[in-house]
Amino acid sequence: MKLICDRPVLSEALAAISAVIVTRTPKPILQCVRLTADSDCLTLTAYDQEVGMRYRVTHVEVSQPGETLVMAERLTSIVRENTDETLALETSDDLLHVRGRNAHYQIYGQNVREFPPVPDFEGEPDFRVPMAKLVGAVDRTVFAAARESTRYAINGVMWEWKGKKLQFVATDGRRLAWTGFSMDKAAGSDGKAIVPVKTLNLLAKLRSEPDDVIDVKLEPNQLLLRTPRATISSVLVEGNFPNYEDVIPRDCTRTAEMSTQEFLSAVRQTALLTSEDSRGIRLSFGEEGLVLSSRVPEQGEARVQTEAKLKGSPIDIGFNPMYLLDALKVCQETVTLEMKEPSKPGVLRSGPEFLYVLMPLTLS
């Protein structure tokens, strides 16, 4: 293998694919990246036996096709720290030579044939969506997915497609985030899948253009995603996702409308005086707007006032400020908070395509 490549583009590709690499594993081969050069492209491949990625780099001049397998962390650091515009990569025996203008590195390679096969995207997609819309939907839901390994069925975001409608739902049992949008063309058939958080976080690391489209294909226990630069394969989360529609309150009697940025700022300020034992903040809605307050015994108190348009009778309700902030960061310019009683879940809405259900905290 012998080629010259654009260093910044290669560095970007290695940064994206490194998110697949596992740092601790009994199989050191999984800490490697496979480099495959053909006539006009360099393909980087990484795999952890659950999630795989192929990343195509086209800013290359290949004079000799071939492939090699090297430790990903070493190559990533070398390419990142170099300052040249281009780098030369060449294999010789078991070595990968990386040459810049004033630097020469030799990295010992591994046996390429020992690298496990990585599922690839074959055939037609089940549906296609604008990448910007898909990444936006993931951003509005992935933060609410469970992180505890014991709650396996909700350790991901549930995708559900019916006709032209594509919906995304995530929950950890204390909150639930929902979003969705309409596709230009209906999917070939209805379906659903629970996609792991790690897989979804990879999407945010892929560079994309405004008009990029992503292909989606569902296979038995496998999801395949294809962008103009990369292909991602992922096993699916097993189990039955909860019936999320039963969780969404339909009988709220109070609604407060607020500026997202003002509400977010007020929550942040109030959260400054919370602790592990006193983590809740009080939201007091009344005719004069919203007063947020918090208290840490023997340390101090906080009180912040902001504008809110309340429909319904006044109410005091408590929430975890971190959970509020997670949702407010992905909201549009205004939000509405629907409530019934201090002991009932609140519903945060922003536009027609985002809904967030949040369990309240009991306040003393």
User: Could you give phi then psi for residue 314, rounded to 5 degrees?
Assistant: -60, 155
The verdict on residue 27 lying in a domain is yes
pLDDT value at residue 298: 86
Residues 105 and 146 in one domain: no
Q: In terms of residue numbers, what domain contains 135?
A: 127-245
Residue 120 domain flag: no
C-alpha distances in angstroms, 12 versus 15, 127, 250?
5, 28, 46
- Tens of pLDDT, residue by residue over 250-308, are 999 999 999 999 999 999 999 999 988 888 999 999 999 999 999 999 899 999 999 99
Domain co-membership, 264 together with 220: no
For 207-232, what is the mean pLDDT?
Answer: 93
**Same-domain check for residues 220 and 257:** no
Q: What is the CATH number for 78?
A: 3.10.150.10
Q: How confident is the model at residue 205 (pLDDT cuts 50, 70, 90)?
A: confident
Lowest mean pLDDT segment, chosen from 26-30, 97-101, 231-235: 26-30
pLDDT given for residue 342 in this prediction? 96
Examine the domain organization and report whether 133 and 241 are in the same domain.
yes
Q: Are residues 103 and 183 in the same domain?
A: no
In a shared domain, residues 141 and 236: yes
**Of 198, 217, 245, the domain-final residue:** 245
Q: Is residue 101 located within the same domain as residue 26?
A: yes
For every residue of 160-218, which 3-state class applies, written as one string? EEECCEEEEEEECCCEEEEEEEECCCCCCCCEEEEEEHHHHHHHHCCCCCCCCEEEEEE
**Number of domains forming the structure of the chain:** 3
pLDDT at site 277: 84
Query: Within this chain, do residues 139 and 233 fall inside the same structural domain, yes or no?
Result: yes
Average pLDDT, the chain: 94
Residue 140 placed within a domain? yes
Are 222 and 119 in contact by the 8 Å Cβ rule? The answer is: yes
User: 197-204 and 131-139 are packed helices; what angle lies between their axes, rounded to 10 degrees?
Assistant: 130
Summarize pLDDT for 308-361 with one digit per residue, the tens: 999 999 999 999 999 999 999 999 999 999 999 999 999 999 999 999 999 999
Which residues does 287 contact at the CB level (< 8 Å), separation at least 6?
310, 314
pLDDT reported for residue 225: 97
Cα-Cα-Cα-Cα dihedral sign, residues 216, 22, 144, 247: positive
> Do 262 and 226 reside in the same domain of the chain?
no
Q: Tell me: do 50 and 101 sit in the same domain.
A: yes
In a domain, residue 122? The reply is no
334 and 226 assigned to the same domain: no
Residue 208: pLDDT over 90: no
26 lies in the same domain as 102:
yes
In this prediction the pTM is: 0.91
Q: Which of 206, 223, 245 is the last residue of a domain?
A: 245
Give domain status of residue 363, yes or no. no
Residue with tokens 């690499």: 21
The reply to whether 237 falls in a domain is yes
In 3D space, the residue among 15, 110, 109, 114 whose CA is nearest the CA of residue 57 turns out to be 15
Q: What is the pLDDT of residues 93-103, one digit of tens each?
A: 899 999 999 99
pLDDT confidence of residue 276: 85
At residue 190, the pLDDT reads 86
Q: Note whether residue 364 is domain-resident.
A: no
22 touches 31 (CB < 8 A)? yes
* Contact present, 156 and 137 (Cβ < 8 Å): no
Q: Is residue 119 part of a domain?
A: no
Q: Taking residues 200-225, report their average pLDDT.
A: 91
204: tokens are 């945010």
pLDDT value at residue 187: 85
Name which of 7-16, 184-193, 319-328, 349-358 the model is least confident about.
184-193
State the pLDDT at residue 149: 67
> Last residue of some domain: 230, 245, 260?
245
Say what the pLDDT of residue 186 is: 86
Question: Residue 109 and residue 90: Cα distance in Å, rounded?
Answer: 12
